[in-house]
Amino acid sequence: MADSKKVLNQENKDELNAKQESSMVSSIDSNEKKDLVITSEKLNTSTESNKLIIENKTSNTEKPPKPAKPPKVEDKPFDEFIKSHLIPSFSEALDKLEIKYEDFKLCYEDMPVVGTKCWIFKGSISYKKRFWLCFSEKNISSTKTFALADNDNNPSLLESFLIDEKKTTLLLLVSRLLQRLNGQKWLKDN
């Protein structure tokens, strides 16, 4: 009978210790729980009392710093973006469509039709079909306008270009240039 009371008392003590550990853990702030490791160790085998040890996990395992991401093409300086990315990408797209082109360049000169100074990406494709993509500032996200002309004629109309887009990307510029030229039936007969 005495042995059964000792076993019962021991089970009650173990259950009580487990409840105490549980209440201690639940009292820790939820943000702290993420960074803590909780272990239980037996200190004295004769009394079998348990001790709660809380260690800070972040001090033991530090995460290595993430490598820096290379800058996006669109974040590069304006001149570099146009000369090193837009012109080659646009030329490559025309090559895939088997469209002949003469030259593409970036210059700072008078905008067609209105005559104010601006940055212009201009070019000419098959049989003297010329286009001008004008940037109001030296920034690819600035206000853009578009003009085109056949043969030796001067452009007579200046159109808004990419006015609804929040973010200007290389892919967007190339695809919309192609779309606009195709709308003029300069790339293929529709």
Q: In whole angstroms, give the CA distance from residue 99 to residue 110.
A: 28
Q: Is 112 exposed, middle or buried (0-12, 13-18, 19+ CB in 10 A)?
A: buried
Q: In whole angstroms, give the CA distance from residue 86 to residue 177.
A: 11
Report which residue type is found at 183: G
Q: Give the closest residue to 106 by CA, choosing from 118, 114, 115, 93.
A: 118
Place of tokens 């090559």: 95
pLDDT tens series, the chain, 190 aa: 555 444 445 555 566 555 555 554 444 444 444 444 444 444 444 444 444 444 555 555 678 888 888 778 888 899 999 999 999 999 999 999 988 888 899 999 998 888 889 999 999 987 788 999 999 999 999 999 999 998 878 888 888 998 888 888 999 999 999 999 988 888 876 5
At 14, list the tokens.
């173990």
pTM, to two decimals: 0.62
Alpha helices in the chain (DSSP H): 2-26, 30-33, 57-60, 78-81, 87-96, 170-183
Looking at residue 120, its pLDDT comes to 93
Angle (CA) 119-124-128 rounded to 5° is: 135
- In this structure, how many other beta carbons lie within 10 angstroms of the beta carbon of residue 104? 20
Q: Give the closest residue to 131 by CA, choosing from 83, 170, 186, 78.
A: 186
Q: In whole angstroms, give the CA distance from residue 24 to residue 81.
A: 59
Place of tokens 């056949």: 150
Which phi and psi angles does 53 have, rounded to 5°? -115, 125
Q: In whole angstroms, give the CA distance from residue 155 to residue 147.
A: 6
Looking at residue 20, its pLDDT comes to 54
